[in-house]
Amino acid sequence: MSIQINTKLRKFLVTAILLYVGWTALYELWIHPDRTLELWIVQSISDSGAYLLEMMGYELITSEFMEEHYRTIGIDGTHGVYISDSCAALPLMALFAGFILAYPGNWKAKLAYIPIGIASIHIINIIRIIGLMLLAKHAPSSLDFNHHYTFTFVVYAYIFLLWVMWVNKFSKAD
């Protein structure tokens, strides 16, 4: 039994490492330098965050600068929040997908679970940006701490929860 566990663990680790190396090469050599995908995700985060804040009754910063720099959005009366390429969370989405691909399970289930998980990570990311904008308005002194620690913990914990759900509820041996 320990040989079988070691073989399964080894297969998982080798697959995960190969996926990680492949993703890193793809990301560093093509996706990140091209920036098209990251800019599209950042625009989606910006548009969704602005829409939801307006639905909540907040007036957003409006100016020619803000229109030209869609990466910066905020509630009127604040300096706004800048959404960088790293806020798109592409590496986190890839990490999530890589774990699901490397872990044993039915391929049809994986092909369904991965896009649902990535979409939910994107939604959590939009909520994170909205939270940062609300902090910039109502508690600006706590913005930096929450950006670097609280929201980072929440996003990583959510991705870990998705992995746990996959392992415990959705993965089945091929």
Mean pLDDT of the chain: 89
The pTM assigned to this predicted structure is 0.87
| Annotated domain spans of the chain | 2-170
Distance CA 72, CA 93 (A): 23
Q: Which residues pair with 60 in a beta bridge?
A: 75
Cβ atoms 164, 137 nearer than 8 A:
no
Residue 122, classified by CB atoms within 10 Å of its CB into exposed (0-12), middle (13-18) or buried (19+), is middle
Distance CA 32, CA 86 (A): 10
Residue 73 CB neighbours (<10 A) = 24
The count of C-alpha atoms lying within 13 angstroms of the C-alpha of 153, restricted to the half-sphere facing its C-beta, is 4
What confidence score (pLDDT) does residue 1 get?
Answer: 52
pLDDT band with cut points at 50, 70 and 90 for residue 67: low
Does residue 39 come out as left (phi exceeding 0), alpha (psi in the -120 to 50 range) or beta?
alpha
Bigger pLDDT: 130 or 80? 130
Distance CA 113, CA 40 (A): 22
What confidence score (pLDDT) does residue 8 get?
Answer: 81
DSSP annotation of 70: T
Percent of the chain clearing pLDDT 70 (strictly above): 91
What confidence score (pLDDT) does residue 61 get?
Answer: 86
What confidence score (pLDDT) does residue 95 get?
Answer: 92
pLDDT band with cut points at 50, 70 and 90 for residue 3: low
pLDDT in tens, 101-153: 999 889 999 999 999 999 999 999 999 999 999 999 999 999 999 999 999 99
